[in-house]
Amino acid sequence: MLLCETGKPLIQHTYEAALRATTPCGVCVAADHEEIAIAVRAFGGLVEMTNPDCASGTDRVAEVARGLDVDIVVNVQGDEPELSGEAIDAAVRLLEDDPSAVMSTLATPIRARDQLLDPSCVKVVFDARRRAMYFSRSPVPCARQWHDGLLADDPPHFHQHIGLYAYRRDFLLSLAQVPPSPLEKLEMLEQLRVLEMGRTIAVAVVPHAALGIDTLHDYQAFVQRNRKR
């Protein structure tokens, strides 16, 4: 979060990306380390300190949400400096348009088989109303008779889950009190807890996924892209 070869710490790039969304009334960093808080304050950002023992990102966001007077809270990962404001707005509008959904997220088509088979690429299956049916590290849906043309079909058969979430605040606070569910623990995917509770997650499909920063190589590639702009 504090790497700054571009002249700005990574967390500032993500903060500024979030500010490009038009629906939220504000942006706040939930930090569990004073170094992060110092960096955020240095560029004029809003930061809230959270318990370093939070079990998950959802718990951390819920801790901040308890002090907010809002209806919807969006969780943006700090390592998503190239996330578009339109993606955040799409997640918010899903909850505004679907009163039955307590949570929303994003997906993008998968067009490469190695990505489909990669367990680190989380897949999502949703119904005709764009409501999530399942999330998995496995290639779902699984074609009984495979041919590469399936990857080119339109509409797409396979979708990558993008880890941005919007929550109704009241549901977020209650979710943080529910223990991990069996499928969640099996797949290590927190969003499965919501489905196992029988609640609705709305899904918006966007053309492309932003490139998150998970490794030093990812960061160096981001620095190069940033220099070309």
Cα dihedral sign for 22, 96, 31, 69?
positive
**Phi, psi (deg, nearest 5) at residue 166:** -115, 140
* Partners of residue 161 on adjacent β-strands: 107
Distances in Å between the Cα of 213 and the Cα atoms of 66, 136, 142, 189 are: 29, 21, 29, 19
In this structure, what DSSP letter does residue 104 have? Answer: E
Q: What is the predicted pLDDT for the residue at 53?
A: 82
Amino acid at site 7: G
pLDDT band at 226 (very low <50, low <70, confident <90, very high): confident
Domain ranges of the chain: 10-228
Average per-residue pLDDT in the chain?
A: 93
Span 10-68, pLDDT tens digits: 999 999 999 999 999 999 999 999 999 999 999 999 999 998 888 777 888 999 999 99
Span 169-191, pLDDT tens digits: 999 999 989 999 999 999 999 99
CATH number of the domain at 10-228, please? 3.90.550.10
Span 144-164, pLDDT tens digits: 999 999 999 999 999 999 989
In this structure, what DSSP letter does residue 148 have? Answer: G
Amino acid at site 168: R
Q: What is the predicted pLDDT for the residue at 208?
A: 85
Q: What is the predicted pLDDT for the residue at 211?
A: 80
pLDDT surpassing 80 at residue 228: no
Distances in Å between the Cα of 50 and the Cα atoms of 53, 67, 179, 218 are: 9, 12, 20, 27
